[in-house]
Amino acid sequence: MHIDKAKKRIAKQVKKGFSGYPSVTLAYFGATPESAQELVISFTLEEGAEVQIQKFSCENDAREDETIQSTIVKIIERANVNTVIEIEGVSSFK
């Protein structure tokens, strides 16, 4: 899937706001606010359920990595996610 198409599909889901469970939260991390080398996806099946976490990393910006962005779309589709939350900006590594 082309990077722009994947990013648009993700943005469309984020724009919907909270629509119930299952939900996915996307958080980007990096050494600087300009570049995110890591993506953390948190999946919650239902309210009160244990959160499942999956991490992706790359040498360049994960927000511009076609493979990572396409994978996010596939996760959303296959898990029948109702809510997608994206944490704005890039958080620094701890």
DSSP states of 22-80: SEEEEEEEESBTTB--EEEEEEESSTTPPPEEEEEE-SS-GGG-HHHHHHHHHHHHHTT
Q: State residue 92's pLDDT score.
A: 87
| pLDDT digits (tens), the chain, 94 positions | 788 999 999 999 999 999 999 999 999 999 888 899 999 999 999 999 999 999 999 999 999 999 999 999 999 999 999 999 999 999 987 5
Domain with residue 65: its CATH number is 3.30.720
What are residue 26's phi and psi, to 5 degrees?
A: -110, 125
Query: Model pTM?
Result: 0.90
Show the domain range for 55: 3-92
What are residue 18's phi and psi, to 5 degrees?
A: -75, 125
Number of domains in the chain: 1
Helix axes 66-78, 3-15, angle to 10 degrees: 40
